[in-house]
């Protein structure tokens, strides 16, 4: 699955804005004194919560991207491979049970006519 052109444009724009903000911060273009940040606790809490939310969203997106890249290269996921092995085991056990049954009970017709086991 390729990302759409709009997704690439939006992410490129967002990255450019963040780079501009970082350069402005490094060059002290709009740096606030530390006293004003500590002096307004509401602004400090808002900035902390906002940064935390952005970090979590970014981590989720990176995790989704990495996991899809890892799983896309293989044919089946590990869970699917285990299910296929279990299916083969069940098939082998069915054949072994059929081989152990006496000839009088064998055959599809006798199995279809017998009532199902369990409570009525």
Q: Give a yes or no: residue 69 inside a domain.
A: yes
Helix (H, G, I), strand (E, B) or coil at 107: coil
Is this structure's pTM higher than 0.85? no
Q: What's the pLDDT score for residue 88?
A: 95
Q: Give a yes or no: residue 58 inside a domain.
A: yes
| Pair 25, 31: CB distance under 8 Å | yes
In eight-state DSSP terms, residue 81 is H
pLDDT tens digits along 1-26? 677 888 888 888 988 888 887 777 77
Q: Give a yes or no: residue 88 inside a domain.
A: yes
Distance of CA 11 to the CA centre of its chain: 21
pLDDT tens digits along 52-103? 998 998 899 888 888 877 777 667 778 888 999 999 999 999 999 999 988 7
* Token reading at 111: 């199995």
On the question of pLDDT at 31 being above 70, the answer is: no
Backbone angles phi, psi at 48, to 5 degrees: -65, -45
**Segment 24-48 mean pLDDT:** 73
| Distance (Å, whole) CA 24 – CA 48 | 20
| Pair 97, 91: CB distance under 8 Å | no
Instruction: Give me the domain span that covers residue 76.
Output: 40-99
Q: Give a yes or no: residue 78 inside a domain.
A: yes
Distance of CA 100 to the CA centre of its chain: 44
What average pLDDT is seen over the chain? 79
Share of the chain above pLDDT 90, in %: 16
Q: What's the pLDDT score for residue 2?
A: 72
Q: What's the pLDDT score for residue 97?
A: 92
Q: Give a yes or no: residue 30 inside a domain.
A: no
| Distance (Å, whole) CA 78 – CA 87 | 14
Number of domains in the chain: 1
Is pLDDT larger for residue 107 or for residue 5?
5
Q: Give a yes or no: residue 5 inside a domain.
A: no
Q: Give a yes or no: residue 111 inside a domain.
A: no
Q: Give a yes or no: residue 50 inside a domain.
A: yes
On the question of pLDDT at 117 being above 90, the answer is: no
């Amino acid at each position: 699955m390729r990302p759409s052109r709009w997704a690439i444009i939006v992410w490129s724009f967002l990255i450019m804005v963040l780079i501009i903000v970082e350069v402005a911060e490094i060059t002290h273009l709009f740096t606030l004194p530390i006293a004003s940040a500590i002096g307004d606790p509401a602004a400090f809490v808002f900035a902390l919560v906002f940064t935390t939310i952005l970090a979590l969203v970014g981590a989720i997106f990176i995790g989704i991207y990495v996991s899809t890249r890892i799983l896309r290269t293989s044919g089946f996921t590990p869970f699917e491979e285990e299910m296929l092995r279990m299916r083969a085991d069940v098939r082998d056990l069915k054949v072994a049970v059929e081989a152990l049954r006496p000839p009088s009970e064998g055959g599809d017709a006798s199995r279809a006519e017998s009532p199902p086991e369990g409570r009525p």
